[in-house]
Every structure is written in C-alpha cells, then in structure tokens.
Amino acid sequence: MAAPDTPRTDDWWRDAVIYQVYPRSFADGDGDGTGDLMGVRARLPYLAELGVDALWFTPWYLSPMVDGGYDVADYRAVDPAFGTLAEAEKLIAEAREAGIGVIVDIVPNHVSDQHAWFREALKAGPGSPERARFHFRPGRGENGELPPNDWPSQFSGNTWTRVPDGEWYLHLFTPEQPDLNWSHPEVRREHEDVLRFWFERGVAGVRIDSAALLTKDPDLRDFVEGTDPHPYIDQDEIHDIYRSWRALADEYGGVFVGEVWLPDSERFARYLRPDELHTAFNFNFLSCPWDADRLRRTIDDTLAEHAPVGAPATWVLCNHDVTRTATRYGRADTGFDFATKRFGTPTDLALGTRRARAAALLTLALPGSVYLYQGEELGLPEADVPLDRIQDPMHFRSGGTDPGRDGCRVPLPWEAEAETGSYGFGAGDEPWLPQPEDWAPYAVDRQTADPGSMLALYREALLLRRSEPGFGDGPMSWLPAPEGVLAFDRGHGLLCVVNLSEEPAVLPPHGRLLLASGPLDSEGLLPRDTAVWLRA
C-alpha cells in the first residue's frame, strides 16, 4: 500500500495534507472538455511540487453522471470519460512513486439506477430477491398512490419514486440514485469485495460517501421532527458495518475518511473509535464563520471530541459541495449552510481572498490532517455558472432557488495565455462547465511566476509544514491574545497568530517570522485578516 513519506509519524494519515481531485475539472488530457486520468497523470509533477501527501479522487467509476459520478453504475470500472481501469492502476502506481497516496471514493448508500442490481430489480418485480437489495414498498393511500413514508430528502424534493408496477423505491438523493438495503447480507458482501478490489490495486485509503446514512429504520417509520433516533441518519447499527470494514482495511494498511455530517460531537466521535473509521471530515470547521470566538470554540470542540477516541482531527475549508472559500469569506455571512445558498449573494473578493490566505495558515497549523480542495491553492472564487449550463441536480430539485454546486466545480485554469479557450485545462475549446472570462490571473503559470500569489503561499506553507516538527498531529495550547486574535503554540518553538479583529495586533515575542499570509504594517503589527507562523 502507498504510505507517503511523512516525517513525524508512521501513521501518515495523522498529519497528511490530502488534496481533493475532482477529476472532471482538474485537467483534460484528451481534449474532449472533461477532465480525465490522463490529465491527472500529466499533472502529477504539479501535485508533487505542491507538496501534498495524498490525493482523494471523487468517484471515477462508470456513471451516467446524474450526480457528478455519485451515481455509480459499476464500482469496478472507470468511466470512459475519465479513462480505463488500467490507467487508474498506472496513476496509483505513479503517484506512489512520487510519494503520494491515492484515496478512492466509495458510495455505499446508493447506486445508479443504471447499476446491474437496480436494473435486475426493476425487471424482477414486487417481492423478488432482486428487489430486496433496495427499499421497495407498496405505497400508502387507497390505491398505493402515496409514498410509503414522509422522509425528507438530502437534496430537497421527494425521496420515493413509483415504478410502473405500482411499487415505490427509496432514494435519499435523486431518483437516479436508489438507496441500497444495508440489512441485506449481499449488500454488505458486495461492498467488502469492492473495498478489497481497490485496496488490492494499491490505494492508500477510502473516502466513504454519506457515511452516516446507510442503515435505515427497519419499519421505515415516518420522520417525526425532534425524536430520536432519526429514521435514517446515524442509526446505531451502522457501526457494525464499519467495524468489519476496519478489520478489512487493516489487512491492507488502508485508511478511511468518513463523510459524517453530524452536529452532535459525541455521536460523531463514535465513528472514530479505534476499531472503526480512522478519520472523518470536520464539517463544523468548514461551516464555521470567520469569527475568532466561533473558530476557537470549534477548534476546541473538535479536539475535545477526538481526544477520547484517539483519532486525529481533520481540517477542511472547502470541497466540491460547498461555496469556494474566497467567495464565502467575503460575504456578510461567512458561514456555510446548504439551506441558505442563493443566487447573487454579494461578496467582497479582495476581503475574502485575504481571509482565505490567513485561513490557509490557520488550517495548516492545527493538529491533525488537512484537506485541500483543488483550486483552493489558486484562490479560485465561486464561479457564476450561466443558468443554461448548470448541471447540478441540487439546483433543479430546489425548484431553481439553490444555485447548486457547479460554481465550485469549474475546470481549473492552468495557463493564462493558452491558445485554447480553456486556460490550458485541455486542448479543446469548450470545457464541460464554462470558465469565467476573468480567470487568467488565477492560472497556475501566472501564480507560479508571482511570489505573492496564493499558490506561492500554499507551496511555501506545505514545504514548511513538512520540515517543521511542530506541525501535524500533536498538542497545541492557546496563548494570551487580544480580543479577535487567535494565537497558539504548537510546541517545538512554533507559533501561529491570526488576526480576525479590525485592529492591528502586536505579535507575541518571537525569534523569526517563518511565513505570513500578508505583509506586516509599518510598525511591525499584524494587520486584520492576516496570519503568521513564528519561531518562538
């Protein structure tokens, strides 16, 4: 298995910086407008130079792409838009040679409606063993014309769809993503097989999609607001699945990261017990507004909830589902909430970018591992995707009020002056989502040439983070600081200070300034929305 060469611990994942690749939008090797594995392979030197330890790939499997590949038709095949299985194997091997582990994304809650199992289930009819792998039910009402229960969707809209023979099937997401029945032994066996399939191909880890949703109330009883347990979120039985997955991963030395959105920290930590998942995404941190008190509380809560189970924290600012950091931090409301996403929310990009730079240093200095979503190292803003080009089902299912998630999924700009119309994303002119016309300054080549760029900041920060023993997993302690300033000590003489107040802040006594997200003022004070790393 690929264990990237990190200096501080044998458990590389406890301090890793993991770069999230959204393959459709990273680099287009064959010029058809869609990013692919050939494109990633060609850009591996870029990722190695950036200094990341591992790559998490959102699903690259065969898929009709109704939900960006989270509708998987075959977990053992690579979608032709992305390449071939042989190419994925090469990519895993080449990344490993560059000291970079590969994490694949497994989607166990649902499959595509084009998956062989679901097609068989539709054909086989009510009461068949094929239907037992899903949640098929007769409807309610006199003629079965009403859905079997009232469960709310994760994507707004209905959670049940009726098939021509009159039965309904459950889908927490789109109708093209039928939910699997996790109390069925074949469903469990199949996924363990799929895990083995990818571990045997040398992947270092697996990201688990919708990890808290797999098991459902056996009677599929109605959802009653405020009652415990929820009929499909975080059911106790789910832990049994992860215990057997952990035993399997341990055979290969592979690690898990769970997509666990749970506000209750004690319930969240249960997924991270020593015989379950290694890590889970920190969505409380991702959703937290740019506010010193709120951030400090979130950091403290995170560390407190991870400590009893001995799991390292993860720090996440952005991913393919949420608003780009530079845009979010420039808004009046700097937190993130799916429910309040609207078109045309004003933002001050200069302010947001300044804060995103400071947030990069904050995040990379905290104890644990860090997830870096592609394009964040370029400071990309959320793009305004024209209405007629939007593809995300979240937009359509909201009745058009939610702009959806395409704005953070726009193909990366690589070359400011590329001959083609896609800033060097690929040889074609038309990427699958249009890039804004003013993205030349964000291009990798421009930023490489500019020591003040976001890319230069990330490169330097990652380099230091690798070489300084104070970073990564380990203790941290808060230092006294003025209102609105976060200052902490990571041991080994390493300090981090972030000024979120309006006033310039005096730096604590120190020897050397290692890195700053922006210049100090003429009096040597730390300006607002700026962060520094100091050697004590």
Residues tagged active-site: 209, 251
User: DSSP 3-state helix, strand, coil percentages of the chain (rounded to 5)?
Assistant: 30, 15, 55
Find the shortest distance in angstroms from Cβ 514 to ligand NOJ.
34
Task: Name which of 321 and 468 has its Cβ closer to ligand NOJ.
Answer: 321
Per-residue exposure over 215-254, b if at least 16 CB sit within 10 Å of its own CB, e if not: bbbeebeebeeeeeebbbbbbeebbebbeebbebbeebeb
Find the shortest distance in angstroms from Cβ 58 to ligand NOJ.
7
- Helix H segments across 257-411? 265-270, 283-287, 292-306, 325-328, 349-365, 393-397
Find the shortest distance in angstroms from Cβ 316 to ligand NOJ.
12
Task: Name which of 70 and 271 has its Cβ closer to ligand NOJ.
Answer: 70
Phi/psi-derived region of residue 51, left when phi > 0, alpha when psi is between -120 and 50, beta in every other case? left
Closest CA to 490 of 15, 4, 17, 10: 15
Joined tokens for residue 342: 């609207």
Find the shortest distance in angstroms from Cβ 447 to ligand NOJ.
27
d(CA 188, CA 78): 22
**Of residues 202-221, those binding ligand NOJ (CB under 6 A):** 209-210
Residue 39: how many other CB atoms lie within 10 Å: 26
d(CA 40, CA 185): 37
Of all residues in the shown chain, the one whose CB is closest to ligand NOJ is 70
Number of residues that bind ligand NOJ (CB under 6 A): 10
Contact between 286 and ligand NOJ by CB under 6 A: the answer reads no
DSSP string, 122-147: HHH-TT-TTGGGB-EE--BSTTS-B-
Strands 255-258 and 136-137, how do they pair?
unpaired
Contact between 176 and ligand NOJ by CB under 6 A: the answer reads no
Find the shortest distance in angstroms from Cβ 435 to ligand NOJ.
21
Beta bridge partners of 488: 478, 496
Contact between 283 and ligand NOJ by CB under 6 A: the answer reads no
Contact between 398 and ligand NOJ by CB under 6 A: the answer reads no
Task: Name which of 46 and 338 has its Cβ closer to ligand NOJ.
Answer: 338
d(CA 331, CA 496): 25
Task: Name which of 70 and 136 has its Cβ closer to ligand NOJ.
Answer: 70
| Stretch near ligand NOJ under the rule CB under 6 A, chosen from 48-56, 64-72, 447-455, 511-519 | 64-72
Contact between 282 and ligand NOJ by CB under 6 A: the answer reads no
d(CA 522, CA 502): 16
Find the shortest distance in angstroms from Cβ 210 to ligand NOJ.
5
Q: What is the side-by-side strand order in the sheet with 494-499?
A: 477-478, 485-489, 494-499, 530-535, 512-516
Contact between 67 and ligand NOJ by CB under 6 A: the answer reads yes
Q: Are 67 and 176 in contact (CB under 8 A)?
A: yes
Contact between 464 and ligand NOJ by CB under 6 A: the answer reads no
| Stretch near ligand NOJ under the rule CB under 6 A, chosen from 65-73, 122-130, 346-354, 451-459 | 65-73
Task: Name which of 261 and 414 has its Cβ closer to ligand NOJ.
Answer: 261
- Which residue among 107, 255, 286, 443 contacts ligand NOJ (CB under 6 A)? 107
Find the shortest distance in angstroms from Cβ 132 to ligand NOJ.
22
- CA separation, residue 415 to residues 83, 381, 423, 446 (Å): 23, 17, 5, 7
Q: Dihedrals φ, ψ of 152, to 5°?
A: -75, 145
Contact between 468 and ligand NOJ by CB under 6 A: the answer reads no
| Stretch near ligand NOJ under the rule CB under 6 A, chosen from 38-46, 63-71, 483-491, 496-504 | 63-71
Contact between 370 and ligand NOJ by CB under 6 A: the answer reads no
For the chain, state the CA radius of gyration: 23
Contact between 151 and ligand NOJ by CB under 6 A: the answer reads no
75 SS3 class: strand
Find the shortest distance in angstroms from Cβ 352 to ligand NOJ.
23
Find the shortest distance in angstroms from Cβ 101 to ligand NOJ.
20
| Stretch near ligand NOJ under the rule CB under 6 A, chosen from 66-74, 126-134, 350-358, 528-536 | 66-74
Contact between 173 and ligand NOJ by CB under 6 A: the answer reads yes
Q: 123 exposed, middle or buried (CB, 10 Å; 0-12, 13-18, 19+)? A: exposed
Measured on CA atoms in the order 370, 375, 379, 382, is the torsion positive or negative?
A: negative
Task: Name which of 68 and 147 has its Cβ closer to ligand NOJ.
Answer: 68
**Torsion, Cα of 460, 464, 466, 467 (10° steps):** 140
**Of residues 309-368, those binding ligand NOJ (CB under 6 A):** 320-321
Task: Name which of 174 and 422 has its Cβ closer to ligand NOJ.
Answer: 174
Task: Name which of 43 and 409 has its Cβ closer to ligand NOJ.
Answer: 409
Contact between 70 and ligand NOJ by CB under 6 A: the answer reads yes
Task: Name which of 53 and 209 has its Cβ closer to ligand NOJ.
Answer: 209
**Of residues 248-267, those binding ligand NOJ (CB under 6 A):** 259
Binding site for ligand NOJ (CB under 6 A): 67-68, 70, 107, 173, 209-210, 259, 320-321
